[in-house]
Amino acid sequence: MKISSLIFPLFVAMFIVATAQAGSTGQPFYGDVPDATHPWCVHDWNRPQPPRVEPKPLTDAPPPADAVVLFDGTEASLANWEADKPQSEPTKWVLKEGALLCVPKSGFVRTKSKFGDCQLHIEWSAPMPPQGESQGRGNSGIFLEGIVECQVLDNYDNPTYADGFACSIYGVCPPLANALRPPGEWQQIDITFRRPVYAGNKLVHPGYETVYCNGILVQDKTQLEGGTGHMGRSRPGPLPETGPLKLQDHGNPVRFRNIWYRPLPPRVAADDEGIHGPMSEQAAAAKRKEIAVMVRDAAAKLPAGSLDQSLRLAESLVYEKDEAVAKSVIALAAKTTANVKQLPSDKINSLKNETKRVWNAMQFLAKFKIIDPSEAAWTELDGIVKSQGWDKH
Ligand code: MG
């Protein structure tokens, strides 16, 4: 026996082991190659399989009160959908036992309505018995804005390339876990979708998708660069403000049910950072001014000269400096002190509540140096309140 005839089977065996360790199937020399910021090929069979996590038991909950229901198992809700064709025409997908069933070769189905950033809930069930393997088993897709696919695939016991796994952002990012239920059971998918926000050609806020599969986090604010596609690298670029939700016909009779979404507030390029984190100084200053005006307007509606009005006005200082308001607050402290001082000691308690209200406000403003903590009107009021023990109870 020649050595080479020994080495070759050994090589094949090593290759099989390596493939098994990588845990995936598929073919090399396929999708787009790695680049400066993406170490894997698109649909890379060397990318590890998502670890198995057993999901919690299936529970049903009605949609939230403000949800837009796209499909609830009724004929009426089927009318929310149409074939994904250039001209509007009825879908050939059918209503079956309360589910929206993909009829192979009928094409994608899409919502008649269009929406953008959203919280989406959708449930799908892969055909039983399972047929095919890898991408051929229970394949469909949830396309946000008709462009970004959250993969639908029966991966319960079916390896495939990791970035094409169920709940992958297709061709972009594998799910953190395989939390699927067996085929034939319902998979509950919850998605937060935020499209990338551009100002002209400049990206001002990256898009992302967060996905839960059967209650388990599988995409953790995964960055979206652009649309998704087969074999091709997702290219950065703006997405439309809105688009239809599309479900894929990949030749498998996958069922869907309980489809609803809640639109999320649009993110404005100039100050949207405040939604999830600190704003720019300029945007924060503008927002503080806006809040101060709102608080002052609310104060103006209260009885003129009342303590309620004075304290509401004092509150506006938290958001914006205002010399006149600051002076009026100090005057209020001085007046409160004077009122207490003019009463005989056995009557002082009658002023406890309103004095404490002023003291509380002043204490807060002094603590944060919104008024000068050494301001005489404040220190005198503070002294009186403490001498009465009102600061304790
Ligand atoms: Mg698909």
**Token couple for 47:** 């990318």
For ligand 1, the distance from its centroid to the CA atom of residue 109, given in whole angstroms, is 13
**Token couple for 156:** 């319960």
Please tell me the distance from the alpha carbon of residue 51 to that of residue 53, in angstroms, as a whole number: 6
For ligand 1, the distance from its centroid to the CA atom of residue 376, given in whole angstroms, is 71
CB-neighbour burial class of residue 131 (10 A; exposed 0-12, middle 13-18, buried 19+): middle
**Token couple for 49:** 């399989």
Report whether pLDDT(14) > 70. Answer: no
For ligand 1, the distance from its centroid to the CA atom of residue 313, given in whole angstroms, is 57
Beta strands 94-96 and 148-152: pairing type?
unpaired
For ligand 1, the distance from its centroid to the CA atom of residue 306, given in whole angstroms, is 65
**Mean pLDDT (whole number) for 252-261:** 98
Q: pLDDT category, 393, cuts 50, 70, 90?
A: confident
For ligand 1, the distance from its centroid to the CA atom of residue 107, given in whole angstroms, is 12
For ligand 1, the distance from its centroid to the CA atom of residue 229, given in whole angstroms, is 10
Whether the ω angle into residue 104 lies within 30 degrees of 0, i.e. cis, is no
For ligand 1, the distance from its centroid to the CA atom of residue 139, given in whole angstroms, is 5
Least confident of 192-201, 212-221, 249-258, 358-367: 192-201
Contact call for residues 150 and 167 (beta carbons, < 8 A): yes
For ligand 1, the distance from its centroid to the CA atom of residue 212, given in whole angstroms, is 17
Report whether pLDDT(40) > 80. Answer: yes
pLDDT at 35: 87
DSSP class of 330: H
CA 158 to chain centre: 29
For ligand 1, the distance from its centroid to the CA atom of residue 344, given in whole angstroms, is 82
Residues 6+ positions from 278 with CB-CB distance below 8 Å: 284
Least confident of 70-74, 118-122, 273-277: 273-277
For ligand 1, the distance from its centroid to the CA atom of residue 42, given in whole angstroms, is 15
**Mean pLDDT (whole number) for 79-94:** 96
pLDDT at 244: 98
| Selected residue with higher pLDDT from 188 and 196 | 188
- Ordered structural domains, the chain, with CATH: 26-263 (2.60.120.560), 281-388 (no CATH)
Report whether pLDDT(104) > 70. Answer: yes
Please tell me the distance from the alpha carbon of residue 231 to that of residue 251, in angstroms, as a whole number: 19
pLDDT at 199: 78
pLDDT at 13: 38
For ligand 1, the distance from its centroid to the CA atom of residue 158, given in whole angstroms, is 15
Q: pLDDT category, 25, cuts 50, 70, 90?
A: low
Report whether pLDDT(267) > 80. Answer: no
**Buried b vs exposed e over 340-364: b needs ≥16 C-beta within 10 Å?**
beeeeeeebeebeeebbebbebbbe
pLDDT tens digit sequence for 132-178 = 999 999 999 999 999 999 999 999 999 999 999 999 999 999 999 99
For ligand 1, the distance from its centroid to the CA atom of residue 30, given in whole angstroms, is 17
Any idea which residue has 């959908």 for tokens?
81
Q: pLDDT category, 268, cuts 50, 70, 90?
A: low
Beta strands 94-96 and 187-194: pairing type?
unpaired
For ligand 1, the distance from its centroid to the CA atom of residue 135, given in whole angstroms, is 8
For ligand 1, the distance from its centroid to the CA atom of residue 153, given in whole angstroms, is 7
For ligand 1, the distance from its centroid to the CA atom of residue 110, given in whole angstroms, is 14
For ligand 1, the distance from its centroid to the CA atom of residue 150, given in whole angstroms, is 8
Report whether pLDDT(202) > 70. Answer: yes
pLDDT at 226: 84
| DSSP per position, 54-83 | PPPPP---PPPTT-EEEE-SSHHHHTTEEE
Please tell me the distance from the alpha carbon of residue 383 to that of residue 124, in angstroms, as a whole number: 67
Angstrom CA distances, 214 to 76, 124, 240, 308, 332, stand at: 27, 11, 29, 50, 58
Contact call for residues 137 and 130 (beta carbons, < 8 A): yes
- Residues measured by CB to lie within 5 Å of ligand 1, the ion: 139, 141, 248
For ligand 1, the distance from its centroid to the CA atom of residue 328, given in whole angstroms, is 66
| Selected residue with higher pLDDT from 248 and 268 | 248
**Mean pLDDT (whole number) for 98-114:** 97
pLDDT at 271: 47
pLDDT tens digit sequence for 329-350 = 999 999 999 999 999 989 999 9
Report whether pLDDT(233) > 50. Answer: yes
pLDDT at 200: 81
pLDDT at 28: 77
For ligand 1, the distance from its centroid to the CA atom of residue 248, given in whole angstroms, is 6
Q: Percent of the chain having pLDDT more than 90? A: 73
From first CA to last CA, the distance across the chain in angstroms is 97
For ligand 1, the distance from its centroid to the CA atom of residue 186, given in whole angstroms, is 17
> Which residues make beta-bridge pairs with 82?
110
Report whether pLDDT(198) > 90. Answer: no
Nearest to 267 by CA among 191, 198, 192, 190: 198
Please tell me the distance from the alpha carbon of residue 49 to that of residue 152, in angstroms, as a whole number: 16
pLDDT at 341: 94
